[in-house]
Structure 1
């Protein structure tokens, strides 16, 4: 998993927990405030709920628009938005259709090159409430499309969490590896990439010892845990849940499971979320954090 992917999930998700509040009431309030921030980020106009498409982009010239007959048919937007071209050397350009009211990165250009997500700042094509950019992932290219007026965003049913319980804020021992290990991480569509794992968090619960392996780009970054437990598929999202923790300090890592949250795949089919490594499948019921999302009837 390339470093940029960890940044994507960090920016779109939530930050690691702040310092622990000694007063239980203050702690509960801090988690509730954190959850409110999580909800605000998730429901933004450019958030995961706005996604309406993820279209494979092979070499060739592809017409883009919402009308039938387009090679890439959008779920919303102009009938004819334009054409995207991908050459054999993966040069990408976009040409707006005649008369369409749209912009390429906010300019007046009608034809322009497209920078992909791997560039750090992709080129956005915008038409009204709809926009797209080129997602580069594992050597493949996709048109990722958003609509701030998407039905999924407008009809969002809210988040359901377990009650905050200080029991699930656990101080784990940090066991660093001599050098970071490359941990294979597979996503929901079967693509596997290696990611750096700097060590393991070891903790005891009800007399038993468990270990979790995090991902981390650099020593100053937060630890990123992808995990699941015995509630998965019934009370919580079946694929995984995410947790960020502050970097190790004095041989300790705080695992605040009250801040577990669902990956984007729990809300939309247009993402490719990472699955937990086998080491992070916990055998007990972790009744903390975010529950499975349930749409409105």
Structure 2
């Protein structure tokens, strides 16, 4: 194979890499800006024992102990698990980081628990944040930022407490260990949490670009389950913003202190336009 042929192969590999990234990013953006995605949220309501009525959701809401209750007035209704409910409805005890979604016309009312607090977050397709959304700026995908690493498990999983985008709120995550990788000649470690899929991992981190070209508070990296030998693949091109990068109506976790990388990770999503970011 000639040098020219090698260059063409490399260009083809990079083009395929970029196309795959584009497909992934479009799918992520579609979820974020879906009719009931995070950009559709119109308010964040903290529930207490005193019943309250909100202008973007039907009913009067309260949290009696650990249970969330709504009292629907005459002519008001919600759809819960495919069933239309009227009058009083008890959502029961909602687990930490769990959400229940109730339908109301073209809207969805999210009932959730975050940091031990019960909340209501109405999601309306006509939200101004959603309808004005034009996409998230990001670095051009570059294979250089797809790194091989190693999962280093703790002897036993650890409960790790982190701060939140909401002042005074804390989140507690189970951490099975850390991932170790090399970048610019230095070895780095990130404390990881359990991911959405069985065996997968999730890292919250900041780096030298945070607050400059990327969102200051946090970015998230999903990592597939480690191989039998502990090997993991970290593709920083897929480092994403959390919802708090777009809206104050979020309760996102902040990275553990040890996950503040000293180097500049010039990959993945940048500061959203909604926060003054540039393409």
Q: Quick check: TM above 0.5?
A: yes
| Aligned twin of 1:95 | 71
Aligned twin of 1:19: none
* Counterpart residue number, 2:262: 283
Q: CA deviation at 1:92?
A: 3.3
Residue 262 of structure 1 deviates from its aligned partner by: 0.1
The counterpart of 2:164, out of the listed 172, 184, 187, is 187
For residues 28-48 of structure 1, the C-alpha deviation after alignment (integer angstroms, 9 at most, x for no partner) is: 221111111111111111110
Give the number of aligned pairs. 260
Deviation of 1:52 after TM superposition, in Å, equals 0.7
- In structure 1, the residue matched to 2:44 is 54
Match of 2:247 among 257, 268, 273: 268
Cα RMSD (Å): 2.4
1:157-236 → structure 2 map (5 Å cutoff): 157-189=134-166, 190-216=168-194, 220-236=198-214
Verify: 1:44 aligned to 2:23, yes or no.
Answer: no
Alpha-carbon deviations, 1:72-117, whole Å to 9, x = none? xx3xx6xxx3222433x444332222234x4342534322222454
Closer, same or farther in 2 for the Cα pair 1:230/1:220, shift >3 Å?
same
Contact 1:116 1:134 in 2 (8 A): no
* CA distance, structure 2, for counterparts of residue 236 and residue 123 of structure 1: 31
Gaps of 5+ in 2: 1-11
Change (3 A) 1:117 1:267: farther
Q: Which of 121, 134, 143 does residue 120 from structure 2 map onto? A: 143
* 1:215 aligned counterpart, secondary structure: strand
Q: 1:154 aligns with which of 103, 115, 131?
A: 131
In structure 1, runs of 5+ residues without a counterpart are 1-21, 67-73
Q: Which residue of 2 aligns with 1:18?
A: none
Q: 1:132–1:203: structure 2 CA closer, same or farther, 3 Å change rule?
A: same
- Residue of structure 1 aligned with 2:91, choices 111, 114, 131: 114
CA change 1:98–1:251 in 2 (3 A) is closer
Alpha-carbon separation, structure 2, partners of 1:207 and 1:91: 52
